Structure 1
Amino acid sequence: MNDENHSATRAPDEARWQAIELSPATFGQRLLAWFDRHGRHHLPWQQEQTPYRVWVSEIMLQQTQVATVIDYYQRFMTRFPDVQALAAAEQDEVLHLWTGLGYYARARNLHRAAQVVVEAHAGVFPTHSVEALAALPGIGRSTAGAIIALSTGARAPILDGNVKRVLTRLHAVPGWPGRPRVERTLWQLAERYTPHERVGDFTQAMMDLGATICTRRRPACLLCPFEDACAAHARGVEHDFPASKPKTARPTRETCFLMLRDRRGRVLLQQRPAQGVWGGLWCFPQFDSLQEARDWLAAHAPRATLESPWSAFTHAFTHFRYAITPLPALVDAPIGVSEGERWYDPEQPDSVGLAAPVRTLLDRLASSATLV
């Protein structure tokens, strides 16, 4: 029996299982034929595919949609056209250009990795091996493979979220892909199918197929080049694959943001520690309770007036939620700032990284009632 023929004597379910047995050659031919006609060929990072440009795009695209990334990527590349420019930048400026993309550890790792490339590799990315690239901050095995495949054409399998979804459905691989056993199976499949020619196109095609056809919620199975060879589709259970991450209750933590303004409309911000929530970003002074905020004002700005709290809102992280209560306050007399603090003028904003809820509240402050 060849790759795609069914036996009329088999039971229906067994015959469908046989349909998934595509050889790597047939798989690659189908995928590349689809990519040549329907793939994405004009994204900004697909032009001049240097290791640096591919790397920046791959990091930005982690946990973030293409449509969101495009503008950020273009602004980032305009300011930091090469790894030397990024390495020489201040972290504040890097985080400023990342503001709104979320998962800020990506930006901090990007900045640090650029410095390592310049200091330890003379500004040249070590694309000779996946292991060498994966040793850089923030670069895992799949990202390293994508950088190598897309920028050099050398053979290096990848296994990002889109590829995991395609392979788990194609082979009806049970289990959450985050489990080591399941991930090992998927890496074996990725290794099996990755060709030795047109590796860059194949890599982009796998990502495109997952992003545009084999989507999480509404896969366009009738448009898929593997519609007749997909075990999940044959059974009508596409939405069961990949299996979801086991749910755990996300605790909610209550916190207060002290929005202290002076008569000039400036707002006091503090820089967060490098590690932890919103690491390295600038935020309002943050307290566990209203009383802690009052105590801080009594010690640092005793003439400040605490106004009525704004309605609390929730900001979700991967493992917990913040229930944030904004506390507006006004200070008449100027007060000095310590290291790691600054007066921020929303009318003439500094180029610093801001946590997403902080930026939202700053916008609201700027449009709120006129200071008296």
Structure 2
Amino acid sequence: MTRHRFSTEEITLCRRSLLVWYDKHKRKLPWRDWHDTDSNIVAYRVLVSELMLQQTQVATVIRYYETWMNQWPNVNSLASASEDDVLKCWAGLGYYNRARNLHKCAQLIVNEYNGEFPRDLDIMINRLPGVGRYTAGAVSSIAFSLPNPILDGNVIRVLSRLRCIGSDLKKKSTTDHLWSLAADLVCPERPGDLNQSLMELGATICTPQKPKCTECPIQKQCLAYEQQIHQSSTDIEQCSTNCTFCLKPTEIDSSRSLVEHYPRKKVKTKQREETSFVLVLYRLNSQLEFLMLKQKQSNLLSGLWSFFEVISPPDFDQMNERKRKTFLIEQIQHMSCNIDDIKLAGQCRHLFSHIDKQYIIYYALDDLSIPTAQTQWFTEEQVLTSAISTAMKKVFNVALPQIKLRAFNGKKVGLESIHFPG
């Protein structure tokens, strides 16, 4: 068990080496590029960046972060924003509960804490929506210089390799031990920078595959690297036959380096495949307009505007086009068109985190439907700029050219190519 902890000397060496390396090699990222001495502003910037970075790559987040901060530079401006505007700014990042939680956080901080971020870790975790132990640790250490640890995917990887933690990450005993290791390393003088150095090391050097061990500032404190030098699973030193953290020789895959065995690989959950019928309803007044539905809070894209979507029945492959259209009419209430008005536009695919989604897209002229509290007519420009998911923009991209051809009697009016990111 001793080998799975840091000695006092190792803690000192790791802190010193990490901070020197971080000061020299840290990436220039917009959420680090602040000149404010107001810790409340810093806390807000950290909170926004950390929630955006959950499940999302840095390169993708940068553009969204800069747009967000230009629109809502502080917690008060975000608190006064509408949910529609917040979701519109977030559209394309996915995991939309993150945006709603940010909005709720801002409103709660303004209404209950007079616009000042709470500094107490327990208050952050228990009162701020969407803020867990990791996010609270990041905000408190970076903005308020409080010596609280963090543990995200990058830090887990670094610590697992430093101390050879090869046990199942789903076990509470494993995560508890990793949190205690992170707490050991936090530097009281520069807790925010130390935490960020661990994240930075995991993101740029201690990567999941092909880690750059020769460039690592704490290579000499890394037990996984020490094992790799031996280049043999039979040389792995075991604490004891009952050690719950050590990898067993039978768990070593010779096709990978020993360092890459830490942390233990998670078993990936296969995305389920799902097919939906989508109906794009349009009308032509002075310009084309499209009827859209606001998704319920319980839906996958809750709070966003969407075209009319129906999960296809299990036997949809055996259904002919007329049966599919009949099924659509039976399921969708907000329409006044008949079966002969509905035309097939094509298909598109979108990958969600847990769903491999296939959309079969139809369109129909519907100039009689009256908008309700849940529906609204959108112009083409509004579809492009409103709180609409990337998946629905892909659907629109397929349907729009054919709708224009039909609406304008085959004349190629405004059929310039459209491209949506993602």
- Shared fold, TM over 0.5: yes
Q: Kindly state the Cα deviation for residue 167 of structure 1 after the two structures are TM-superposed.
A: 0.7
Map of 1:200 onto structure 2? 192
Task: Give the letter aligned to residue 175 of structure 1.
Answer: S
Report the count of equivalent residues.
Answer: 353
Between stretches 81-90 and 348-357, larger displacement belongs to: 348-357
Map of 2:234 onto structure 1? none
**What does 1:60-75 align with in structure 2 at a 5 Å threshold?**
60-75=52-67
CA distance in 2, matches of 1:211, 1:175: 22
From 273, 293, 298, the equivalent of 2:296 is: 273
CA 1:361–1:249: 2 relative to 1, 3 Å = closer
From 120, 123, 133, the equivalent of 1:141 is: 133
Q: Kindly state the Cα deviation for residue 18 of structure 1 after the two structures are TM-superposed.
A: 10
* Aligned 8 A contact 2:337 2:365 in 1: no
Q: Kindly state the Cα deviation for residue 23 of structure 1 after the two structures are TM-superposed.
A: 1.9
From 206, 218, 222, the equivalent of 1:226 is: 218
Map of 1:11 onto structure 2? none
The alignment status of 1:293 with 2:284, answered yes or no, reads no
Q: Kindly state the Cα deviation for residue 302 of structure 1 after the two structures are TM-superposed.
A: 2.6
Map of 2:351 onto structure 1? 315
Q: Kindly state the Cα deviation for residue 137 of structure 1 after the two structures are TM-superposed.
A: 0.1
Between stretches 307-316 and 284-293, larger displacement belongs to: 307-316
The alignment status of 1:132 with 2:127, answered yes or no, reads no
From 244, 261, 275, the equivalent of 1:254 is: 275
CA 1:189–1:174: 2 relative to 1, 3 Å = same
The alignment status of 1:79 with 2:113, answered yes or no, reads no
SS of the residue 1:335 aligns to: coil
CA 1:96–1:246: 2 relative to 1, 3 Å = same
State the TM-score, normalized to the length of structure 1. 0.87
CA distance in 2, matches of 1:272, 1:298: 15
* Aligned 8 A contact 1:93 1:351 in 2: no
Q: Kindly state the Cα deviation for residue 330 of structure 1 after the two structures are TM-superposed.
A: 2.6
SS of the residue 2:198 aligns to: helix
The alignment status of 1:27 with 2:14, answered yes or no, reads yes
Unaligned ranges ≥5, structure 2: 229-256, 313-323, 410-422
Q: Kindly state the Cα deviation for residue 296 of structure 1 after the two structures are TM-superposed.
A: 4.6
CA 1:80–1:299: 2 relative to 1, 3 Å = closer
RMSD, matched Cα:
2.4
User: Any idea what the Cα deviations from partners look like across 1:267-287, whole Å, max 9, x if unmatched?
Assistant: 221111123311111111111
Map of 1:89 onto structure 2? 81
Map of 2:361 onto structure 1? 326
* Aligned 8 A contact 1:164 1:177 in 2: no
Between stretches 102-111 and 165-174, larger displacement belongs to: 165-174
The alignment status of 1:216 with 2:208, answered yes or no, reads yes
Map of 2:103 onto structure 1? 111
CA distance in 2, matches of 1:114, 1:350: 27
CA distance in 1, matches of 2:176, 2:60: 31
Q: Kindly state the Cα deviation for residue 215 of structure 1 after the two structures are TM-superposed.
A: 1.6
SS of the residue 1:33 aligns to: helix
* Aligned 8 A contact 2:273 2:357 in 1: yes
User: Any idea what the Cα deviations from partners look like across 1:182-216, whole Å, max 9, x if unmatched?
Assistant: 11111010011111111121121111111111122
Map of 2:337 onto structure 1? 302
* Aligned 8 A contact 1:158 1:203 in 2: yes
CA 1:306–1:31: 2 relative to 1, 3 Å = same
State the TM-score, normalized to the length of structure 2. 0.78
SS of the residue 1:215 aligns to: coil
Map of 1:51 onto structure 2? 43
CA distance in 2, matches of 1:303, 1:255: 20
Between stretches 255-264 and 153-162, larger displacement belongs to: 255-264
Between stretches 276-285 and 47-56, larger displacement belongs to: 47-56
